[in-house]
Amino acid sequence: MKDFGFTMIKQRTIDYDQFDGRLLNEVLEMEPSFKVCLSCGGCTATCSAVDLVSFNVRRMNLLLRRGETVELESEIKKCMLCGKCMLVCPRGINIRNVIMLIKKSIPKYKTVTL
Amino acid sequence: METNPFIWPFTIGLLFISCFLIIIVSIWISGLSHIDKSRIVHSIFTRKSLLAIRETFMESLLHRKIFRKNLVLGYMHMSLAFGWFLLIVVGHIQAWNYYRSLSVPAYKAIFFRYFVTEPATTLSEKTLAACVDLLLVFILSGVMLAYFKRLNSRVFGIKKTTKLKAGDRIALTALWLIFPLRFLAESVSAGIHHNGSIVSQPTGQILSSLLPVHSLEMPLWWAYSLALTLFFVSLPVSRYMHIPVEVVLIFLRNYGIRIKKRIDGYSRIQVYSCSRCGICLDSCQMTHAEIKDTQSVYVLKHIRNKNLTDEKLFNCLLCGRCQSDCPVGLSLNDLRITQRIESTKEYNSSYEYLKNGPVEVSPQTEVIYFAGCMTHLTPAIIKSMKEIFAVARVKYWFMDEDKTSCCGRPLMQVGQYEAAKKLIGHNQERILASKANKLVVSCPICFKVFNEDYALPGITVQHHSEYLLELMVNKRLPMNKMPLRVVYHDPCELGRGSGIYHQPRLLLDEYAEVIPVKNEKETAFCCGGSLANIKIQMNERNQIRDEALEEYLSYRPDVLATACPLCKKTFAKSNKLPVHDIAEIVYMAIQEKQNLQKTEYKKEMKMEFWK
Amino acid sequence: MKHIVIIGGGIAGIETASALTDAGHWVTVIEKEAQVGGKLNNWSYLFPDFTPVDKIKSVLQEKCSEKDFSILHQTEVSSIHRKNGKFNIEISGEHQLEADAVVVATGYELFDARRKEEYGYKIYDHVITSADLEQLLLPNGDLTVAAGENPKRIAFVHCVGSRDEKSGNHYCSKVCCITGVKQAIELRKRLPEAEIYCFYMDLRMYGKRFEELYREAQEKYDIEFIRGRLSEASEKIDKSLLIKAEDTLSGRPLKMNIDLLVLLVGMEAGKGTASAAASCGIGCEDSGFLKTADSFLKSNFSEQEGIFLAGSCTAPMSVNDTILHARSAAQEVNNWLLRR
């Protein structure tokens, strides 16, 4: 995002009427296992990247479901794709594919949420 | 010299295919890197060319590798390839001999029996004519097998076969017609002119007694010429492109050219060298999960047809079983990775957060130990390694005990090459800063990338199975053979991926009893857990795992041993038998011996006391 | 007189046997162990009111000695065949019993925590299961860890072997949440100085007085509840443990050094249940527990006429629910026999 020299204040409520679900729907269609996340945080706990940078894999799910594509794009780049999270996930989610799908498709759907 | 209009389709077809091949191969070779081009220039007049000729003979003509897989299938391929080759060679000798000239046009050799109506007289003419006849029979036997194979492929040890496209169908029909037509044309001519040899003459006589041979002769020679033409013209759009391209591949491979991390002329040559024999379909474990459209043969076809989807490209375990079975010796794993690099190059991460602080390692450090991400979820491996280091009194630095970045191999497997390079650079710096000269790795996935893609001058990279064997050989570990029946599962990245088959077995054999199984070493199964496949679903992974386990369980082992944390986790999840890493088994044996010594010591102490 | 054979001499088996004997039937219980009581023998106190297990056990014992049903100890069922409307039951490969009805009460098995290798059970010294802890909670139980000191910081992990694709168990074991709360309170009573944490995904306080106990754990016993699933544990040189989780409510990864890790292991359909199912041709659910003919109206009926189900062989169950399920099984068997 271009820095215009002023900060944009994020809206405090989640406005579901403004929600752009295109990316979410695409990812869920290509990787249906992503539907069953129960937000246990096991993935974030085990993540190799969290020792090196502030990163939270579990939040990818939330960002995607709330349409926060700008933050999602900058966050998702931190994943090293090591696959440890998938060995921990109690729901057997194919997390690496989710990451790759988002990385691939996000430029198409990037929207600025104010 | 007399001629006939039916030679024209053939001659034009031959001219077309020759020009086409020259042009396309030139384009491919010009697309090679400068280094590869200079490799060709420097190798062309060396022994490498002789080796390439030998390999061409053994593989493209005799089809040695297919013979090894299945005798009938091998014979079919050999009779067609080697038979046809000899037929062309002997046909030309026959023509040169007859016309007493080396500048005889090709059609004179190919349609010899039409143009030379007088019977063979000299011994050499008779012998050559008989040779041509026998070669035709030889080829026809292969063609018959090919007909039969279409109907029933199981006889050839192939359970599945590839589906054909229009271009393939035309070329296949032409190929199936060429030799029967030639045989019929020659026999009919022999029936008319009595110029046949040992097989064509009697056949010709029978035909002439049954059919109006005079009116059949021209149509048959025309049909033969047209069949050849059809084959030549359809060749570029059919799988039979592999026949000429494979020869180019063999030469380039012998010159030391390999697949790069990008698509180039050589990868194109590999793609076109696939004969679509379908042997890779049989070795692919994805079929155990009913995934039947992502195998190498299909992916190469889709690359050729420019309609490859990510769903197919990434739905592969990269286990390498197809690669070790491929009769053309294609680098199927690297080809797929190259394609993945191309497909994902738009979105590589740069990992700017990676910052190297100072590395503080004691100067006496003998070994850097890198467990790997996955190994942190199999703590029994880490604990065993730590205990073994203590027993052998090895000073080590546990590089990723608290935190470290991933090795980069999982990124590499899914084509994120640029991203992987960032991680590699970061870890490389830390390893070199430690000043130790040995890196011991517990995860074969890490091991492969450390070995192949890291620049670590002066540092030996070893998987822990190699390292433990070395410790044992140097008598730094106690010996204790336990009465434990073990099946050893070769991890893909360690076995086929890095060629380490024997060290783990030698080591295990000293501490337990290793039972050989049917599918091991080069043909070992993948556990199904591979990180290289990002499309496969968990239930499909489980199916692949269970098929592999079924074979292992049939040997009734006490323990399934492996040397990879991911394989261990994958198999252990099934809960069907105990699964242990090779390091755990070594530690178990050492511990057992130490306990035994302790109790004996105590016993002795008691005896002393009572005295 | 009708003869009923009950497979399993745990709470469900004995309770069913007792009720059927009262109804005037001839009952034989087949128990693989030397004593009755099943898994109850591994437990010390019961949620939600800390009832000593001995109280329940002694009632069971009383029923066994006072009521006129027989128990075949150290006996296992080899096969069950239906013949002329009766069941021929071969036991321990030798004897045969003839029965008019069969009740399967084979119970459950505890999840083997070694299967969650990342938690280090049997690898690290101070990782124990809820069943191990139950023994330590007895008055003479030794809770000390390395260096003979009491643990200063203790963590409970919920859902070990439950709600977990990796363990092959997708279902919720129901009782571990409240077990965790109960044991945390008991630990607090023993170790007033310790910090006690429960790592949970969801707390399912479904039963009578469960929620109240949870509130008490927070209010009175200072048990800290953290929402996040433990990913792994590692052992330090001093045998203390470093655990990793995400504090999902604050959205940040969390690391913690602890002295004792307690794994709240779930329930699985045991091998006994699987083999009983196989020998009498009754179906299992995907979870491995036995299929009931109808989940609302026939929860004691198997798919086979004359074979009934009682207790935790059908689903994870608390002691309370097991007793009720066993009594209803007895009622159903009795009604069925009268109808014939």
Q: Which residues of A touch B376 (CB under 8 A)?
A: 46, 84
Q: What is the 3-state secondary structure (H, E, C) of B290-319?
A: CCCCCCHHHHHHHHHHCCCCHHHHCCCCCC
pLDDT exceeds cutoff 70 at C215: yes
Are B14 and B106 within 8 A, CB to CB? Answer: yes
Which of C116, C117, C234 best tests the B interface by mutation, with the highest count of B CBs <10 A? Answer: C117
Domains of chain C: 3-108+269-339 (3.50.50.60), 111-267 (3.50.50.60)
pLDDT exceeds cutoff 70 at A6: no
Nearest to C261 by CA among C236, C287, C298, C288: C236
User: Which tokens in the block code for residue B483?
Assistant: 């009465």
CA–CA separation, C58 and C36 (whole Å)? 11
B404 in reach of chain A (CB within 8 A): yes
pLDDT at position B606 is 63
pLDDT at position C84 is 87
Q: Which residues of C touch B583 (CB under 8 A)?
A: none
pLDDT bucket at A69, cuts 50 / 70 / 90 = confident
With a CB-CB cutoff of 8 Å, which residues 217-246 of chain C face chain A?
A: 227-232, 244-246
**What's the gap in Å between the CA of C329 and the closest CA on chain A?**
35
CA distances from C132 to B6, C112, C121, C144 (A): 92, 12, 11, 14
Residues near C166 by Cβ (< 8 Å), separated by ≥ 6?
Answer: A87, A88, A89, A90, A92, B573, C116
**What's the gap in Å between the CA of B398 and the closest CA on chain A?**
16
Element (H, E) at C263: strand C260-265
Q: Which residues of A touch B344 (CB under 8 A)?
A: 100, 103-104
pLDDT at position A109 is 84
Chains contacting chain C through 3 or more C-beta pairs under 8 A: A, B
- For Cα atoms B561, B563, B567, give the angle at the middle one, nearest 5 degrees: 80
**What's the gap in Å between the CA of A14 and the closest CA on chain C?**
17
The rounded Cα B209 to chain-centroid distance in angstroms is 52
Element (H, E) at B165: none
Cβ neighbours around C161 below 10 Å, total: 24
CA–CA separation, B106 and B93 (whole Å)? 11
Nearest to B588 by CA among B384, B386, B420: B384
Q: How many CA atoms lie within 13 A of C139 on its CB side?
A: 1
Q: Which residues of C touch B575 (CB under 8 A)?
A: 115, 168
pLDDT bucket at C179, cuts 50 / 70 / 90 = very high
Q: What is the mean pLDDT of residues A26-52?
A: 95
Are B152 and B76 within 8 A, CB to CB? Answer: no
C86 in reach of chain B (CB within 8 A): no
Torsion of CA B595, B597, B599, B600, to 10 degrees: 160
pLDDT exceeds cutoff 50 at A114: no
What is the chain C residue with the closest CA to B572? C115
User: Which tokens in the block code for residue B103?
Assistant: 């500048």
**What's the gap in Å between the CA of C243 and the closest CA on chain A?**
9
Q: Which residues of A touch B311 (CB under 8 A)?
A: 30
Q: What is the 3-state secondary structure (H, E, C) of B511-569?
A: HCEECCCCCCHHHCCCCCCCCCCCCCCHHHHHHHHHHHHHHHHCCCCCEEEECCHHHHH
| CB pair distance less than 8 Å for B377 and A100 | no
Average model confidence (pLDDT) across chain B = 93
Q: DSSP per residue over C93-145, as a string?
A: TTEEEEESEEEE---EEE--GGGSGGGTBTTBTTEEEHHHHHHHTSTT-----
Q: What is the mean pLDDT of residues C225-243?
A: 96
Q: Is B529 exposed, middle or buried (0-12, 13-18, 19+ CB in 10 A)?
A: buried
Q: Which residues of B touch C118 (CB under 8 A)?
A: 376-379
Question: How do beta strands C101-104 and C95-99 pair?
Answer: unpaired
B353 in reach of chain A (CB within 8 A): yes
What is the chain B residue with the closest CA to A92? B538
pLDDT exceeds cutoff 90 at C260: yes
pLDDT exceeds cutoff 70 at C80: yes
| CB pair distance less than 8 Å for A41 and C164 | no
CA–CA separation, B90 and B125 (whole Å)? 11
pLDDT at position A111 is 59
pLDDT at position C165 is 95
pLDDT at position B361 is 86
Q: What is the mean pLDDT of each run of 10 residues along chain B (611 residues)?
A: 85 96 96 95 96 96 90 92 96 93 90 90 92 95 90 68 78 93 94 91 92 90 96 94 96 96 95 91 94 95 94 96 94 97 94 86 92 96 97 95 91 96 95 93 97 96 98 96 97 97 97 96 96 96 97 97 98 95 97 88 65 48
With a CB-CB cutoff of 8 Å, which residues 360-389 of chain B face chain C?
A: 376-380, 382-383
| pLDDT digits 0-9 by tens, C287-340 | 999 999 999 999 999 999 999 999 999 999 999 999 999 999 999 999 999 998
Q: Which residues of B touch A73 (CB under 8 A)?
A: none
Q: How are strands ordered across the β-sheet holding C70-72? A: C70-72, C26-30, C3-7, C101-104, C307-309
Which of B374, B381, B383 best tests the C interface by mutation, with the highest count of C CBs <10 A? Answer: B383
Which of B312, B349, B350 best tests the A interface by mutation, with the highest count of A CBs <10 A? Answer: B349
Nearest to C152 by CA among C66, C244, C240: C240
A83 in reach of chain B (CB within 8 A): yes
Tokens 């939040």 -> residue:
A59
pLDDT at position C272 is 77
pLDDT at position A108 is 87
pLDDT at position B514 is 97
pLDDT bucket at C246, cuts 50 / 70 / 90 = very high
CA–CA separation, B496 and B319 (whole Å)? 8
Instruction: Give the phi and the psi of residue B368 in degrees, each rounded to 5.
Output: -95, 130
Nearest to C67 by CA among C9, C21, C8, C2: C21
Tell me which residue in B376, B383, B538 faces C232 most closely, judged by beta carbons.
B376
**What's the gap in Å between the CA of A27 and the closest CA on chain C?**
22
| CB pair distance less than 8 Å for A47 and C165 | no
**What's the gap in Å between the CA of C111 and the closest CA on chain A?**
15
| pLDDT digits 0-9 by tens, B55-104 | 999 999 999 999 888 899 899 999 999 999 999 999 999 999 999 999 88
Total residue count of chain B as it appears in this document: 611
Cβ neighbours around B611 below 10 Å, total: 5
Are A88 and A72 within 8 A, CB to CB? Answer: no
CA–CA separation, B369 and B190 (whole Å)? 78
| CB pair distance less than 8 Å for B377 and C232 | yes
pLDDT at position B599 is 83
Partner residues linked to C91 by β-bridges: C77, C95
CA–CA separation, A106 and C122 (whole Å)? 45
